Amino acid sequence: SFGVGGTNAHVVLEEVPARPASAPSRPWQLLSLSARSATALEAACRNLAGHLEAHPELPLADVAYTLQRGRRAFAHRRVLVARDGAEAVLLLRGEEPRRLLGAEV
């Protein structure tokens, strides 16, 4: 509302249109995490695993996109490739160590 000389004006807009669902994605998704320290990287892996378990409806392609584009890259990094959220949780928890790539840049 605008208060100009004691008058108020209100405008009613329509509801925001629903966002379309993500397009079908590729069978494998690259998840990349980074942190300032090795301890923080382990915590980030645990946090993401917990989030994926709590929200199994999340498209893994959307999670991968956010991790790659919506986060800053730090020196300690870990990368994994997964087909779905359940597989990503196993990898993030370190249950398949041969399938994890990590580095300090």
Range of the domain at 42: 29-104
CATH number at residue 95: 3.30.70.3290
- Residue 29's pLDDT is 96
Q: What pLDDT digit, counting tens, does each position of 27-42 carry?
A: 999 999 999 999 999 9
Residue 22 in domain: no
CA–CA dist 69, 53 (Å, integer): 22
CA dist., res. 4 & res. 104, Å (int):
59
Is residue 18 very low, low, confident or very high in pLDDT (cuts 50, 70, 90)?
confident
Q: How far apart are CA 78 and CA 81, in angstroms?
A: 11
The overall average pLDDT reported for the chain is 86
As for how many domains the chain has, the answer is: 1
Q: How confident is the model at residue 11 (pLDDT cuts 50, 70, 90)?
A: confident
